[in-house]
Structure 1
Amino acid sequence: MRTTPPNSPTPSGRRLRLGRIGSALLGTATLVLAGLGTAAHASAATPATAKATPSSKVTWAATPCATPKHKGDLACNSLRVTGGLTAFQKHQAQADGITPKAADASTPSGYGPSDLQDAYGLTDAAASNGSGRTIAIVDAYDDPNAAADLAKYRSYYGLPSCTTSNGCFKKVSQTGSTTSLPTADSGWAEEESLDLDMASAVCPQCNILLVEAKSASMANLGTAVNEAVKLGAKFVSNSYGGGESSSDTSYDSSYFNHPGVAITVSAGDEGYGAEYPAASKYVTAVGGTALSTSSTSRGWTEKVWNTSSTEGTGSGCSAYDAKPSWQTDTGCSKRAIADTSAVADPATGVSVYDSYGVTAGWYTFGGTSASSPIIAGVYALAGTPGSSDYPSEYIYNAAGTSALNDVTSGSNGTCSAGASYLCTAKSGYDGPTGWGTPEGTDAFTG
C-alpha cells in the first residue's frame, strides 16, 4: 500500500517507495502469460526436451536497490525474474518445439539486442549510427564488475568491443575520478548492469560513460548528472526515482536544466502516481510496456505494463513542476508523465549479464529501469540534439506519425474521470505510454 497519495510528499519531502517494496517482502509477483504470436524474432533456444506450456508462470522480485538505504534516498526502478518462463523463452519454445530451463543463469532468457532493435525499428540505425556519441548512465554506488560484465554481454551478442582500453567505456565517480570510486553495492550493481546492457543493445556503436554517485540522495545523483554533462555526454539515462517534493523545482534548475542534452528518466514501477525526477519539465519521462511477438506486420504488440495496484509503469500529473510549452493535454495543469515508453514488464523482460553480489550469469530484468536507457539509446542513434533544445519536445513534434507505435490498451491504476488518459492507454497521448514507443529514430531528432 502507498503510505501517501501518489502526488503527496512525506514530511521529510520524499515519499518512501513502499508499494512495490512491501510486495517484494511479502513474496514475488506472479503473472500467467498468455500465448504469444508466431512471428520469429529470436535466436536458437536452449536445448531441452519438454514442450512449452502456455500456463508457465513468471516470478520476480524488486532488486535490493529498490529499498532506499537512508530516509529520503531515491530508489532504482528494476525487477529481476526469479523463476518461470519469460515471453522470450515461450516464444523460443513455440518456434523450436523445445522448452528452455526456467531461472537458469547459464544462458540468456530475455530479449536481446536484435529483438529490441527489431521491435523498435532500429536495426539499420543500430548498425551504422552512434559512432563517437556518448551515452551516460547515472546510478548510485560502485559496481566493481561493471566493465567485465559489460564485456561479457557484448561478446555474447556479437556487439563491438567496448572497453576502457579502447576508449569506449569509462567509469567515474560523481566528481569525475576514475580511482576514488563510491562504496560497492550489489543491488545497485544489478541496476548498473541492466542500464549498461540496454544502452549497448540499442546503440552498439556508442561510447558509454558510467557515472557513480556516492549515495542515492538527490544531491549526489544530481551532481552525477551534472558531471556526465560536463564530461561531454549528450544522452544521459537515469533509472531511479521517488516521491515529489516542493524542492523539485530547485532540483530542476540545479541538476536537470541542460539544453542540448537528452536526459531520460524512468517513470517508476509502482503504478499510477507521479515520481521525481521523471516529473522534471527538462527531461524525457519514460513509461513502460509489455512487449510480445505477434503476427501483425510489425511483428510485435505492446500494452501498458501493469501487474497489480502497486506494480506497473508510473504516470500522472506533477504536483509541482510546470507544464512545458509543448505539452498540451488538458486534464493536467502541470507537467504530465510520461512522454514516451519502451518495454518494462519483467514477464516480457530483457537479458542482462551480472556477476556482483549474485551468482554470475544471465538474468532477465524488467521495470522502467530498462525503458530509460533504451530510449537514451534511441536518442543517441537519432543524432546530437540542437544546442538550445529540450529533446522531449521532439516526441511531441512527431505525435501521431508513423515514427511512433501508438499503445492503445491497458491501464496502470485509477485516476479521475476527467483525466482518465493519465492512467489508461488510448489513441494518441496517454500517461502510461506517452505518445508511444519508437518506430525508428525520426521521433527523437530535431
Structure 2
Amino acid sequence: MTPSPRNRRKRFGRIAAVVAVAAVALATARAASAQIRAAAPESLRGCAPATPGHPTCTLLRRSGIHAPGRALAAPSSAGLTPADLALAYQFDTTGGAGRTVAIVDAYDDPNAESDLAVYRSQFGLPACTTANGCFRKVNQNGAATPLPSPAISNWGAEISLDLDMVSAVCPNCHILLVEADAADAASLYAAVDTAAANASFVSNSWGGNEYADEVNQDFHFNHPGTVITFSTGDDGNGGGVQYPAASPYVVAVGGTSLTRGTGGFTERAWSGAGSGCSAFEPQPGWQVGPPDTHCAKRAIADVAADADPFTGASVYDTYDDTGWDVFGGTSQASPIIAAGYALAGAPASSDPAPFLLYRHFIGRGPTVVPPEHVLTDVTTGNNGDCGAPSCDARTGWDGPTGVGTPIGTGAFVRPFAFGAIVTDNQATPVQSATSLTVRGRDGTLPYTWAATGLPPGLSIAAASGVISGTPTTPGGFTVTVTGHDATTSPAGSYTFGWVINPPTQATVPNVIDDGPNQAFSAIAAAGLVVGSQGQVVDCNHIKAVASQSPAPGTQVAPGSSVNLLFGIPPKKTGCP
C-alpha cells in the first residue's frame, strides 16, 4: 500500500528526530566532530542511520525552505539550478547523447518518472520518459516487474535528488533507475551489478561503516570500463570511512560548499564531507607517492562537488516531500560526478576511473608544461579537527575534496597520450640550424607526431617527434604539435610560440642592373630599407640601378639604408 502524502511528509520529521538523538550521542563520543555541530542547524538527515549490513542514503535536506506540509509553487532561489552547476563546473551540457547513467537506490519510488518530468520541464531540459526511451526503471535483477515495495525512510527523496542531478549535468543522457529490494547490503550490491551490466556510468549515494569482510565484496564494483561513483558520507571525518566508497574500484566523491558571488562561484571543503583512511582496503597505486594522503591504505575522497545542503540544489519530490525543496549531502555530489564522466565518455577498460583523476593531478597538473587546468584545488575549509590532509583542505590532495572539483570534463578522460616537454616558447635566429624534440609520456608506444604552424624551413619527423631544419623567414609563429599513441586514446595537442629572429648582421644585396621594383624588393628581403634615390648619366643602366651604397656584400645592421642611383641618358645628345 502506498503511504498517503501526509504520512510521507511526516517522514523527514520522524527521521530527523531519530537522527538528532544519534547525533547527540555521536557528538558526545566524538567531541572533535565539529562538522556534526555545524551541520545541525542547517539540515535534516533523510534516511535512517546505517547499521551493520544496512547502508543508509547520504541525503540531507536544508531546513526552512518551506513550512511543514506546504508546497512551493516554484523552486526556491536558495537552490542551485542546472545552469548554476554548468557554470560552476564549466560543463558543456550539450554532450552525452546516447550514453546511459544508472542510479542505484533502495525501494521503489512510484512518482520517480512524473517528478522527473516536472524538474526537467521547469528548467527547460528535454523530456526523459519511458515512452521516448530515455528513462527506464528496473528492479535489482534488471526486470521491469515486479518492482520493490514503495520507498520508506526517505529513499524516495534520495531517488529524486539523484535523478535530478544527473538531468542537470547531462540532460541528453539516458537514465536507468535500478531499485534494490531493500536497504540491505546484499540487495544494493546486486543492484550495482545490474547497473554496471547495463550502463557505463553508475552513481551511488549510499554507504555504511567499513567492515572486515568488505574486501571480499569488492568484486561487485570491479567492472573495467565502467565508472562507479559513491558518496563518502555526511558526518565529516569523525563519522568514519564509508564503504563502498572505500573500495579501490570506485570513485569516492567528497563534498564542498559552493557559494555564488558577484564574480562567480567559490568553493571550500564542506564540514560534513566524509574522509579518512580505510582500515581494510589496500592503497591503490595511484595514491602512492605524490598525493601524500598520510594513509597506509586506501584514502577517501578522490574528487568532490557541491554537497553542503546550505548551498544545495533545487529538487522536485512529491513522494517524501511536498514538491520543490533544497537537498544536499554527498548524495548530491555523487550523481554530479557520475554525469560529468558521462559527458566525457567511458574510460578504457585498462584505465580505472579514479586513476584518471590522479594521473591528471600528479602527472600533468599546473606545474607541468603545458598546464591543464582541469581541476580546481580546494584549499580552504575542513571537516573535523584532525588537521591536514585528512580533515583540512590544503594545496594538493586532501580528505574532504580529494584532488579537487572538476573544471569541465578534462579530468574524467585519459590524459593526453604524450607530454610535450617544451619548457618555454622558442626563439631561433633566422638561417640558423635548429632541432627540438617533443617527447612522449603516459602512452603506449609507438607515438606518431604532426605539427602545424611551423616556421618556414622547419619540419617534424612523424616517428621521432624531432622538429628540425633551418628557418628562412623572420617573424612570430604559433605552432601546434599533435601526438597519437598506439591506442585509440584521444590525440594530445600542445600549442606554443616560436619566434624567428632576424640576423644580427644583414648583407647588402647586389641590385646593380635591377629596375626600381626589383631592387626595392631585394633590399626589403635582406632586412634593409631603401635610402636616398638619385640619378646619374649612365647609358649602360638606363632606368636601372647604376650605383649603390653600401657596396654589394657589405655587412650592416638590420634595418640600415641602401642608397641608389638610377641611370639616365644625357639630356642633349641621348645615348648612342
TM range (shorter): 0.7 to 0.9
Q: How has the CA–CA distance of structure 1 residues 156 and 21 changed in structure 2, closer, same or farther, with 3 Å as cutoff?
A: farther
After superposition, the Cα gap between the structure-2 partners of 1:427 and 1:182, relative to the gap in structure 1 and judged at 3 Å, is: same
Determine the structure 1 residue equivalent to 2:44. 61
- Residue 23 (str. 1) matches residue 23 (str. 2): yes
The alignment covers a number of residue pairs equal to 370
Query: By how many angstroms is 1:31 displaced?
Result: 6.7
Distance 1:24 1:351 in 2: 29
State the partner residue of 1:301.
266
- 2:59 partner letter: S
In the alignment, which residue of structure 1 is the partner of 2:400? 432
TM-score, reference length from structure 2 = 0.61
Correspondence for 2:136 among 165, 170, 177:
170
- What is the identity, as a one-letter code, of the residue corresponding to 1:325? G
**CA 25–148 in structure 1, closer or farther in 2 if over 3 Å, else same:** farther
1:342 maps onto 2:313 in alignment: no
Look up the equivalent residue of 1:82 and give its one-letter code: S
Partner of 1:443: 411
- TM-score calculated relative to the size of structure 1: 0.79
Question: CA offset at residue 203 of structure 1?
Answer: 0.4
| Equivalence map 1:17-416=2 (5 Å) | 22-23=22-23, 59-63=42-46, 65-68=47-50, 72-83=53-64, 105-109=72-76, 110-122=79-91, 125-127=92-94, 129-186=95-152, 187-231=154-198, 233-253=199-219, 255-272=220-237, 273-296=240-263, 299-306=264-271, 312-328=272-288, 329=292, 331-359=294-322, 361-399=323-361, 400-401=365-366, 402-415=373-386
- Secondary structure of the residue aligned to 1:118 is helix
Give the Cα separation in 1 of the matches to 2:284 and 2:21: 32
Superimposed CA distance per residue, residues 384-432 of structure 1 (whole angstroms, 9 cap, x where no aligned partner): 21123211111111113410111000111132x6xx2011100111111
Supply the distance in 2 between the matched residues of 1:330 and 1:77 (Cα, whole angstroms). Answer: 24
- CA distance change for structure 1 residues 316 and 217 in 2, over 3 Å: closer, same or farther? same
- The 3-state SS of whatever aligns with 2:287 is coil
Indicate how the Cα distance of structure 1 residues 330 and 78 shifts in structure 2: closer, same or farther if over 3 A, else same. Answer: closer
Which stretches of structure 1, 4 residues or more, deviate above 6 A after TM superposition?
Answer: 18-21, 29-32
What SS does the corresponding residue of 1:381 show, helix, strand or coil?
A: helix
Q: 1:228–1:236: 8 Å Cα contact kept in structure 2?
A: yes
Asked if 2 retains the 8 angstrom alpha-carbon contact of 1:30 and 1:60, the reply is no
Q: For the residues of structure 1 that align with 2:398 and 2:354, how far apart are their CA atoms?
A: 15
Following superposition, the deviation at residue 58 of structure 1 comes to 6.8
Matched residues in 2 for 1:155 and 1:226: separation?
32
Q: Specify the code of the residue in structure 2 equivalent to 1:257.
A: N
Alpha-carbon shift at residue 330 of structure 1 (Å): 5.1
Counterpart residue identity of residue 139, structure 1: D
Q: Which runs of 5+ in 1 are unaligned?
A: 1-17, 33-56, 86-102, 307-311
Q: Distance in 1 between matches of 2:116 and 2:245?
A: 26
Bigger relative contact order, structure 1 or 2 (CA pairs below 8 A, ≥6 apart) = 1
2-structure distance, mates of 1:197, 1:425: 28
Aligned partner of 2:350: which letter?
Answer: S
User: The residue matched to 2:22 in structure 1 has which SS?
Assistant: helix
**1:293, CA displacement in angstroms?**
1.6
**Two-structure CA RMSD over aligned residues (Å):** 2.4
Query: Judging changes above 3 Å, is the alpha-carbon distance between structure 1 residues 429 and 71 closer, same or farther for their aligned structure 2 residues?
Result: closer
Aligned amino acid, residue 408 of structure 1: T
User: What are the ranges of 5 or more consecutive residues in structure 2 without an aligned counterpart?
Assistant: 1-17, 27-35, 367-372, 415-576
1:15 equivalent in structure 2: none
Paired amino acid for 1:81: R
State the SS of the aligned residue for 2:230.
strand
Paired residue for 1:53? none
Preserved CA contact (<8 Å) 1:349 1:364:
yes
Deviation track 1:287-330 (CA, whole Å, cap 9, x = no partner) reads: 0000002344xx11000111xxxxx0000000000111111225
SS of residue in 1 equivalent to 2:381: coil
Separation (CA, whole Å) in 2 of partners of 1:151 and 1:256 = 30
- Structure 1 CA distance for aligned equivalents of residues 274 and 192 of structure 2: 22
Change (3 A) 1:366 1:82: same
Deviation of 1:168 after TM superposition, in Å, equals: 0.4
Q: Distance in 2 between matches of 1:248 and 1:331?
A: 22
Identical aligned residues as a percent: 53
Instruction: Tell me how far 1:104 sits from its aligned partner.
Output: 5.8
Q: Which amino acid in 1 is paired with 2:23?
A: S
Flag the 1:138–1:295 CA change in 2: closer, same or farther, 3 A.
Answer: same
The 8 Å contact of residues 66 and 77 in structure 1, kept in 2 or not, is answered as: no
CA drift of 1:121 comes to: 0.6
For residue 331 of structure 2, what is the amino acid of its counterpart? Answer: S
- How far off is 1:145 after superposition? 0.5
> In the alignment, residue 77 of structure 1 is paired with which amino acid?
T
